Chains A and B, each alone.
Chain A
Amino acid sequence: MIALLVRDLRLAMRAGGGFGLGLAFFLIVSTLVPFGVGPEAAILSRIAPGILWVGALLACLLSLDRIFQLDFEDGSLDLLATAPIPMEGIVAVKALAHWLVTGLPLTLAAPVLGTLMNLESPGHYWIFITLLIGTPALSMIGAFGAALTVGLKRGGLLLSLLVLPLYIPTLIFGAEAATRGTAGLSASTPLLMMAGITAGSIALLPFAAAAALRVNLR
């Protein structure tokens, strides 16, 4: 399993691997928003947590179809399926690799980009915490969507349509926790709800995704 994780990380770092793609997208989205909304600091700082969350979510979506599609196309997925790693383990490792190359960099970059939107002082801390807890769920739900659509030509669009609605609860609680935290209110309820979603996704979705992969490999 560690070999698979190392391979996926190595592939992501090599040419054409897509590392940094989501991060660059996130950077551009966060830069564009002040141009679109206008430079009023009050408005920007009020919408900043929400915008950062939506931006992170879309950036995450960008690289989802690579999770299984590339391995499916070159035949590795068949060989992995017959390897002594359980399919659930393959899904979990690949979701983890996706989080390490997408979710984690986004989480680290978000507080810095918050400055572009006049995010006020405790906000940096809250956007970091909420993304840190929430982005693993995004990767795991995304891996499930990718497993459902693997093997479809142009599956990326269908994948977005399938996955975006499933992201809504994470987005609501994540953005709400970040907004409340920034405003100095208690954020523990939405934060705990989001943590619950993340824990539930990690516990259950590998099994669902593995079942979907088995069907798609036939």
Chain B
Amino acid sequence: MELRVENLTVARGGVPVLEGLDFTLSPGQVLILRGPNGSGKTTLLRTLAGLQPPLTGSVSADPEQITYGAHADGLKATLSVEENLRFWASVHGISDIAPAVDGFNLRGLLERPSANLSAGQKRRLGLARLLVTGRPIWLLDEPTVSLDAASVALFADAVRAHVAGGGSALIATHIDLGLQAETLDVGPFKADVNRPRGDTHRDAYADFDEAFS
């Protein structure tokens, strides 16, 4: 399953942040997304994941093929590690959570309520969720935040295994993961906010957003 992006413009709060994006993410490929804070990496990932519509352009992949790993892990504090993981597995129709548990070294924590996990352990559980979605395209937003070196290595191994199995990953990160990957710097695609734009879409969205803000 290939993710092809053509002439994409993404916006946050009605203001375009990145424009003219063209790239392809093929099966077996890892693409590292780089750019300074506030450059629109998260907005781009959310748009690709189908959480917000693009201003212009198109994303070829079916949202059902994509899983999105956000800043927040989506964990329930009162549920145990196993319950959290089993929930996401059954939402995605997967019954075997063992690979995810072993892949992120969670075996000893299964019974523990997520409220009692450290930040790095929570992150590991959040990343283990990727393995129980069974989806080929991973979009990850700073996945290594609060992970120690050993856990970063576990994560890199998980990405390698995923890619070797025909999956692909688009990862926004500031550190070197030691993966064989291409880099996409979003800097050159920064949108010129002052440039007048012919499309009426933008105004329609701006009004719509305003009505709900």
Contacts and interface: CB of A to CB of B under 8 A. Distances in A.
Given A3-B90, A7-B76, A75-B72, A82 B50 contact: yes
B68 A76 contact: no
Given A83-B92, A84-B93, A78 B79 contact: no
B52 A217 contact: yes
Contact of A78 (B68, B88, B209): B68
B79 A75 contact: no
Contacts of B64: 84
Nearest to A78: B70
A44 B175 CA distance: 70
Interface stretch (A10-18, A22-30, A135-143): A10-18
B79 A7 contact: yes
B75 A74 contact: yes
Given A84-B93, A218-B52, A76 B63 contact: no
A79 interface: yes
A16 to B, nearest CB: 7
Nearest to B126: A75
Contact of B79 (A4, A14, A83): A14
Interface string B36-61: 00000000001001111100000000
A216 B78 contact: no
Interface string B178-192: 000000000000000
A193 interface: no
A32 interface: no
B67 A82 contact: yes
A81 interface: yes
B83 interface: yes
Contacts of A7: 76, 79, 83, 87
A215 interface: yes
Contact of A82 (B53, B63, B71, B79): B63
User: Chain A binding site: helix, strand, loop or mixed by DSSP?
Assistant: helix
A16 B91 contact: no
Nearest to A217: B51
B40 to A, nearest CB: 14
A194 to B, nearest CB: 31
A216 B212 contact: yes
B72 A3 contact: no
Interface in A9-50: 10-11, 14-17
Contact of A76 (B46, B67, B74, B83): B74
Contacts of B67: 82
Quick one: which of B71, B91, B129 has the most chain A CB within 10 A? B91
A3 B93 CA distance: 10
A204 interface: no
Interface in A120-173: none
Contacts of A84: 64, 91-93
A122 B53 CA distance: 55
A79 to B, nearest CB: 4
B212 A78 contact: no
B39 to A, nearest CB: 19
A85 interface: yes
B73 interface: yes
Contacts of A14: 78-79
B76 A11 contact: yes
A10 B71 contact: no
Interface string A188-218: 0000000000000000000000000001111
16 contacts: A4-B87, A7-B87, A14-B78, A15-B78, A17-B78, A71-B74, A74-B72, A74-B73, A74-B77, A75-B70, A75-B73, A78-B74, A82-B49, A84-B64, A84-B93, A85-B91
Interface of A: 2-4, 7, 10-11, 14-17, 71, 74-76, 78-85, 215-218
Given A7-B76, A10-B83, A75-B72, 4 more contacts: A74-B73, A78-B74, A217-B52, A218-B209
